[in-house]
Amino acid sequence: MSRAVLSIGSNLGDPLENLRSVVDGLGGRLLAASSVYATAPWGGVDQQDFLNATLVVDDTELDCRGWLRLGQELEAAADRVRDQRWGPRSLDVDVIDCDGIVSADPELTLPHPRAHERAFVLIPWLEVDPDATLVVRGATVPARELLGELDEGERDGVRRTDLRLMRA
């Protein structure tokens, strides 16, 4: 069994449909999906706001690298181009946590090395898992505590929308 937390985001093309393509691609592996949030871009690149959500997924056939590969396949299907760090993108699928594993592997660092700094990850994650924890600098820390340590402006830049990931 492999349980993972995925953060998904999009700000090119039809961002909501791009996020929904992940939900569709996951099928029965999806355990929980947060609301859709509009978030200010992160990283200093001038671009439009993102739509973001967090998903909790489970599959007995996938390990952590399997989640990474599946995320990359879903990005490719959405025509993801990687030409500017922190730039606009049709789809971003990040593995935030996988079975609580800690790994410094450069291909898949776990937990995601900047998740604890990003309100757009923590806020939706706490919506679907209020008891979420993340290993930061060797210690397991409640995600709620990590969120509280972020700048108020970072937290305020994450706004819940009325948009839905699940198709009617």
| Catalytic site includes residue 162 | no
Q: What is the CATH number of the domain that holds 11?
A: 3.30.70.560
Give me the phi and psi of 100, to 5 degrees please: 70, 15
For 109, the domain range is 2-160
| Catalytic site includes residue 129 | no
> Does any domain span residue 166?
no
User: Which one of 20, 29, 59, 80 is the catalytic residue?
Assistant: 80
User: Which one of 92, 99, 118, 167 is the catalytic residue?
Assistant: 92
| Catalytic site includes residue 89 | yes
Quote the DSSP letter at residue 88: -
> Does any domain span residue 146?
yes
User: Which one of 20, 29, 59, 94 is the catalytic residue?
Assistant: 94
> Does any domain span residue 137?
yes
> Does any domain span residue 165?
no
> Does any domain span residue 114?
yes
Per-residue pLDDT of the chain (168 residues; tens, 9 = 90+): 689 999 999 999 999 999 999 999 999 999 999 999 999 876 666 678 999 999 999 999 999 999 999 999 999 998 766 665 666 788 999 999 999 999 999 899 999 999 999 999 999 999 999 999 999 989 999 999 999 999 999 999 999 999 999 876
| Catalytic site includes residue 92 | yes
